[in-house]
Amino acid sequence: MKFNKNVGWIFTIMILIIIVTLSKGVFALEDEEVFIKNGSRDKKVIALTFDDGPHPKETNEVLDVLKKYDVKATFFIAGKHANWYPEPLIRTSKEGHEIGNHTFNHPDISNLSSSQIESEILKCEEILLKLTGKKTTLFRPPYGSYRKEELVNIAQKYNYKIVLWTTIDTRDWQNPQAHKIANTIIDKAKNGDIVLLHDYATNNTVQALDILIPAMIEKGFQFVTVSELIN
């Protein structure tokens, strides 16, 4: 009888271990499906992404360079900036670039409650839908800062993919020289990379695009939107 009880406890513990392991595996799979850091490594494609716009000057200048080379990119929009400067956002959408949600006020959402995060996302979503007529399914947390499990739950609730970026960070928001921004991408970019840039008050980024885009095309890369990259 004592032997049978021991066997029963061992069996119960084994079942619990299996359940916990499987649940962790499912959550890890959900993470992979919700969080996007890169696309397939099999194809020579790359996604340029621009955060924090729109801006009445730099966004239009970025769009001019992209149009020059017939390149499509993804813009993660701060809702309050869209409110202030709707025209460059409307142009961005009309010219076939992808629009993503970057919250309304650009806060560090790791310091917010779940309801505050949802409010930031939905308020931005509302202005984007109003100005472009399109519902985006891409979200990027400002500063790349978040509480993981909480953001996964919110993203799944509102049908968003959480788009981060590959290890390449040009830190162009610090306004380094254009050639430094460009060379960081030209030297380090790999198949399927998502590159982080900014189109809000970053003058040298515009000049860097005129250097890096033809250089990357010469290396055989194709520029795509984030959705094209992951699909």
Do 76 and 162 fall into the same domain?
Answer: yes
Do 14 and 54 fall into the same domain?
Answer: no
Residue 117 has a pLDDT of 98
Residue 29 has a pLDDT of 38
Do 58 and 42 fall into the same domain?
Answer: yes
Per-residue model confidence as pLDDT tens digits over 81-103: 999 999 999 999 999 999 999 99
Do 60 and 134 fall into the same domain?
Answer: yes
Instruction: State whether residue 21 is helix, strand or coil.
Output: helix
Residue 28 has a pLDDT of 38
Its pTM stands at 0.86
* H or E stretch covering 222: strand 222-223
Residue 18 has a pLDDT of 45
Residue 75 has a pLDDT of 98
Which pLDDT band holds residue 6 (cuts at 50, 70, 90)?
low
| Rounded Cα distance, 33 and 63, in Å | 30
Do 16 and 62 fall into the same domain?
Answer: no
Taking the CA atoms of the chain, what radius of gyration do you get in angstroms?
Answer: 21
Hunting for tokens 């993981």 — which residue is that? 148
Q: What is the mean pLDDT of the chain?
A: 89
Do 60 and 173 fall into the same domain?
Answer: yes
Do 123 and 184 fall into the same domain?
Answer: yes
Whether the pLDDT of residue 9 is over 70: the answer is no
Do 100 and 209 fall into the same domain?
Answer: yes
Closest Cα partner for 184 from 174, 202, 169?
Answer: 169
| Rounded Cα distance, 65 and 182, in Å | 14
CATH of residue 221's domain is: 3.20.20.370
The pair of structure tokens assigned to 216 is 């990357």
Residue 165 has a pLDDT of 96
Per-residue model confidence as pLDDT tens digits over 97-132: 999 999 999 999 999 999 999 999 999 999 999 999
Number of domains in the chain: 2
Per-residue model confidence as pLDDT tens digits over 133-187: 999 999 999 999 999 999 999 999 999 999 999 988 789 999 999 999 999 999 9
Torsion angles phi and psi, residue 89, rounded to 5: -65, -45
Amino acid at 67: K
Strands of 9-133, DSSP E? 35-36, 45-51, 74-77, 98-101
Do 43 and 29 fall into the same domain?
Answer: no
Do 10 and 74 fall into the same domain?
Answer: no
Per-residue model confidence as pLDDT tens digits over 192-226: 999 999 997 678 999 999 999 999 999 999 999 99
Residues identified as active-site: 51, 198
Do 148 and 190 fall into the same domain?
Answer: yes
Per-residue model confidence as pLDDT tens digits over 11-56: 555 554 444 444 443 333 345 578 999 999 999 999 999 999 999 9
Do 31 and 43 fall into the same domain?
Answer: no
Residue 20 has a pLDDT of 40
Helix, strand, coil percent values for the chain (each to nearest 5): 55, 15, 30
Residue 192 has a pLDDT of 97
Q: Which residues contact 216 (CB under 8 A, 6 or more apart)?
A: 46, 185, 186, 189, 223
- Domain, as residue range, for 197: 37-230
